[in-house]
Amino acid sequence: MNSKLIITILLIPIQLTIAQKNFSVGETVIYGSILSNLDKNYVLLEEEFGTESFLNSYQASEMFLNSEKDLYFKTLKEIPRLPVSFVHYLLTYYEDKTDSYCQWIKRRNPGSSIIKENEIVSKSEAAIILIDNYMLEFSDEFIISSYVKKLNFNKLKRFFKRHENKNLTDLRLQYRNWVKRF
């Protein structure tokens, strides 16, 4: 039993590597860190809670909160500057079957019983929203476009395959024109 558990644990990184096979270890670490930094969007709840209540709820100091905010907003600003390989990395989430919802885009207020639209999304859905924001060069906050639910991984993969030889500026221009159809 223990040897099966050990083998399973050892296979998890191999499975992740197969899913993201076209990426160097460095890219995987960098892009994984970016996604982890997006989980710091809980700092946006400070406005809802008020600073004092927020610090008490999260048992954090103001210095820690400011550090987390700084990292989160720097990450948002960096996303549009990343190479197009970031999009290809996000496209590897098309088969994400996790049970939990993803908080890269929006953090749900844990004290609220009201669930707002787009507060509960899977990693697959969040990846599509991230791709859209990357292509449209949004950097201050995530915008969830009205057409985003009409996008899917197959459409996105076909688009990127068709335009794989374009530079990023031209690719973004083509994308803007493409999404107008939705």
Query: Cα 64 to the chain's mean position, in Å?
Result: 23
- Report the interhelical angle of 123-135 vs 168-179 (nearest 10°): 110
Amino acid at 112: S
User: Tell me, what's the pLDDT at 107?
Assistant: 76
Tell me if 127 sits within 8 A of 61, measured CB to CB.
Answer: no
Tell me if 76 sits within 8 A of 139, measured CB to CB.
Answer: yes
Q: Closest by alpha carbon to 124, among 99, 158, 104, 95? A: 95
Burial 131-140 (b: 16+ CB within 10 A, else e): bbbbbeeebe
The per-residue pLDDT string of the chain (182 residues; one tens digit each, 9 = 90 and over) reads: 444 434 444 444 444 444 455 667 777 888 999 999 998 988 888 888 888 888 888 888 999 989 999 999 999 999 999 999 999 999 998 877 666 678 788 777 777 777 777 667 888 889 999 999 999 998 888 888 989 989 999 999 999 999 999 999 999 999 999 999 98
Return the domain boundaries, the chain.
23-179
Q: What are phi and psi of 139, to 5 degrees?
A: -140, -10
